[in-house]
Amino acid sequence: MAYVIELTDDQWRLVADLFDPPGRRGAPAQIPRRQMVNAMLFPGAHRLPVALPPGAIR
């Protein structure tokens, strides 16, 4: 079951190469790229503040 904010398979196919390009060098990813992209979409989909305004925490 997918959440509303998760990319569909068709959407992921369109952007997958941007986040995990073929021939990528370095250590293998420990967290799947698709899971990271879905996590980045979460705050925008739920209108969470990216940063608290000045004076919000006292």
> pLDDT tens per residue, the chain (58 residues)?
455 678 889 999 998 888 877 787 888 878 888 988 888 876 555 555 556 666 766 6
User: Can you tell me the distance from the alpha carbon of 5 to that of 46, in angstroms, rounded to the nearest whole number?
Assistant: 9
The per-residue pLDDT for 40 is 81
User: Can you tell me the distance from the alpha carbon of 43 to that of 37, in angstroms, rounded to the nearest whole number?
Assistant: 11
21 Cβ contact partners less than 8 Å away, ≥ 6 residues apart: none
